[in-house]
Structure 1
Amino acid sequence: MVTKISNNESEHSVHVLVRPEVAELPPYGAGQTLQQAKANRPDVEMINLSVNENPFGVSPRVTRALDESLKTSACYPDSQCRQLRQALAQQLSFPCDSLVVGNGSEDILAMLCKAFIKPGDKVLVARPTFSLHPIYANMMGADVTAVSMTANMQYDVDSWLTHISQMPDLKVLMLANPSNPVGCTLDHKSLTACVAACPEDTLIVLDEAYFEFAQDENAFADSLAILSAQSRPWIILRTFSKAYGLAGLRVGYGLVSDSQMVDYLDRVRTPYNVNSLAQTAALAVLDDPGYLQQTVDLVRQERMRLIPVLQDMGLFVAPSLANFLFIDCQRNASEVAGLLLGYGIMVKPWQEPGYEHYIRMTIGLEQQNNRFVQALAEILKDNKLKTGNL
């Protein structure tokens, strides 16, 4: 006999049991997939410019490697990702025992917060930012402070330095470089100043999910050189989801200041957090530099082409060294995104307070970007939305 519990009773019992920090967390807005959007609008050719995926799809080397790897899918993967860590260590000239691999870089971010943040710890993040930075810190009961961008959507270094100076017990400094969702970056001087201002025991967390698109730019800081030259604990997070085209397989990695940190992270992660197919795919795409270069070249070329076009439409475009553009539509971004969906184009409307008139648009193939520009121009020209409607 199965005992049925009413919804009210069930909700009440769960509400009593849940940690208050969890009850107050906002849900992560992942949005719908391209397949879901196509199912909802079968009459329109859909393109997904909302989640910063690689427009070239999977590297052919990855496809071949996965075909072979499927044969051993009944076996557990290497829980330590030894082969992948060794390949990364060789490519990056970095100690293997100071590398950690996760189910996407956000998995490592969650491990960091579980291992190092306790209730009341001071954490400094950016605004706007990748939402899991404050969400995971708040999950652990941290006291999170957000530092806003400047009016022209650059990191406000003076404000960061002021906040740091007022927090002698700062536990974690957490920021993305390039920024997500803005795309702006901290240069060598600015990043060095922010790190140097922190207390000696502050954990520096740099999220470099878009590293590959910015690494050769003069305006982009060499974070590994900067952090290695000082004594504070640190971790640099990177991912295979963006430039390497493995978003669906979920694999990211972190470079850490001390192998002891890897040991602590191992204690809070799930034992087999990176599946065997993800490990195989990451190894294969690391061995395909031509695929990565093709991706980076496309993004740079299209980024340079798109920005002046959008500016000529009277729109502000935030400075970006990533594979996306953060665009001030001067209108309610959710309404703009909804109208673009009618044209078969998916973009991300930003929901963070104060930035609800911005959309984030992934840089795709040339013809996809042209469709986006044409559709946005039609929406603005037809005046379907009133400015200031936030």
Structure 2
Amino acid sequence: MFRVALENIATYEAGKPIELVIREFGIPADSVIKLASNENPYGTSPRVLESIRENIHKAHLYPDDSMYELKEALSHHYGVQADEIIIGAGSDQVIEFCLQAVDHHNACVLMAKTTFAMYEVYAKLAGVEILKTPSDIHRLDEFVRIYQEVSSKKRVSIVFLCVPNNPMGECLSAKEVEAFIEKVDKQTLVVLDGAYQEFAKAKDSDKGLDPAYLIKKYSNVIYLGTFSKAYGLGGMRVGYGIGSKHLIAMLHKVRPPFNITTLSLQAAIIALSDQDFVAQCVKQNFEQMRYYEEFAKDNHLSFIPSYTNFITLTNLSFESTHLCDWLLTQGVILRNLKSYGLNAFRITIGMSSQNERVLELLKQYIQKNK
């Protein structure tokens, strides 16, 4: 009855919901701290909430399927044309469009060993072979070596670069990315996943990607963005892709109608207009991240310098599963990376009060498990 490909696909493991901790451990909702899914702890712009309230009466209506207003807003924000943009239910839906649209005959896809899990899931659903680099983080020399070795036998249909990378946190520079694209055949689609670009370019301008420049120069590049992270709209599910007109036109052939909601469209339009809110969230994110970095150094823990709204601690002297399970009993949800084959965990950077509580519990755990 079911496709054979599904037998080799692990169900995507999202961060545990707050409701699960309430049910299993009897912890009051206001005592639960969820720092597992890289949501914006400051919520979304107050202007967005006001707009949702004003437009709630439209919930029974289908959205404008042309998504004219949001595309116009994004086109002005990035300096591209509206027909160079496609909207998805989160940027992961645009990833799915790419896997559906590209020709995978005698081909494979290439990605980092440890990166966003949905690249692999959608690739398996497309029935295409997957190649991964040896390193957990993005090392472009490995990408180039594998690409060149494979190209003598088959095509590489898609290369995924997560810039910055989730769940590790490292980030390639714009120059590194462009140097890699120059080495890639024009028939290979290069997917630049910029879900955390708002954070990366604020921390280091050299890490900032310019979609307008890239898609004008390279017709085989698509840039992905999302409103789920810095904009605080994870629950509204709005993402987008930016590419050449022809590339976007091909992706629209596999996009289902009305793929995001009326209220999601409105929320994204207003969220994009409130850049002051985004800038403040990003600023507070990196101010709070320093406390985790200092804690890691003081307690001899390894971490990956992060260009995102999370920090990943690696090479632990204790089991990440044991730590994350214990923290659940204390009402704290972090992201165990055991499913990636790593003895590591990822912490979304929360608000000050949340971070203080998490750091205190981490200190308690380390002292008990020396």
- The two structures have a TM-score, normalised by structure 2, of 0.93
Whole-angstrom CA distance in 2 between matches of 1:21 and 1:254: 27
Taking every aligned residue pair, what percent have the same amino acid on both sides?
Answer: 29
The 3 A distance-change label for structure 1 pair 286 and 292 is: same
The 3 A distance-change label for structure 1 pair 261 and 37 is: same
Whole-angstrom CA distance in 2 between matches of 1:43 and 1:331: 26
Q: Which amino acid aligns with 1:213?
A: F
Task: Describe how 1:321-336 pairs up with structure 2 within 5 A.
Answer: 321-328=307-314, 329-336=316-323
Whole-angstrom CA distance in 1 between matches of 2:94 and 2:331: 34
Q: Name the SS for the 1:238 alignment partner.
A: strand
1:243 lines up with 2:226 in the alignment: no
Aligned partners of 1:191 and 1:221 also within 8 Å: no
Aligned partners of 1:345 and 1:372 also within 8 Å: yes
Partner of 2:285: 299
Partner of 2:148: 165
Q: Which amino acid aligns with 1:269?
A: R
Aligned partners of 2:197 and 2:209 also within 8 Å: no
- State the Cα distance separating 1:351 from its structure 2 match: 2.8
Q: Name the SS for the 2:308 alignment partner.
A: coil
Q: Which amino acid aligns with 1:28?
A: Y
Larger radius of gyration: 1
1:82 lines up with 2:65 in the alignment: no
The 3 A distance-change label for structure 1 pair 170 and 49 is: same
Q: Which amino acid aligns with 2:143?
A: W
1:19 lines up with 2:3 in the alignment: yes
- State the Cα distance separating 1:43 from its structure 2 match: 3.2
Q: Name the SS for the 2:133 alignment partner.
A: strand
CA-atom RMSD in angstroms: 1.8
Partner of 1:116: 102
Runs of 4+ more than 3 Å apart: 117-120, 228-232
1:366 lines up with 2:366 in the alignment: no
Partner of 2:12: 28
Partner of 1:340: 327
Task: Describe how 1:41-190 pairs up with structure 2 within 5 A.
Answer: 41-43=25-27, 45-118=31-104, 120-149=106-135, 154-168=137-151, 169-190=155-176
- State the Cα distance separating 1:32 from its structure 2 match: 2.5
Q: Which amino acid aligns with 2:302?
A: F
Whole-angstrom CA distance in 2 between matches of 1:374 and 1:226: 45
**C-alpha deviations, 1:60-115, integer Å up to 9, x for none?**
11111011111112211111211100011111111110001111101111111111
Whole-angstrom CA distance in 1 between matches of 2:76 and 2:217: 23
Q: Name the SS for the 1:268 alignment partner.
A: coil
The 3 A distance-change label for structure 1 pair 374 and 119 is: farther
Partner of 1:9: none
Partner of 1:278: 264
Aligned partners of 2:113 and 2:134 also within 8 Å: yes
Q: Which amino acid aligns with 1:263?
A: A
- State the Cα distance separating 1:219 from its structure 2 match: 4.2
Aligned partners of 1:310 and 1:373 also within 8 Å: no
- The two structures have a TM-score, normalised by structure 1, of 0.89
**C-alpha deviations, 1:252-301, integer Å up to 9, x for none?**
11111x21222222221221101101001001111212211111011111
Partner of 2:200: 214
Aligned positions, number: 363
Residue number among 31, 39, 43 corresponding to 2:23 in the alignment: 39
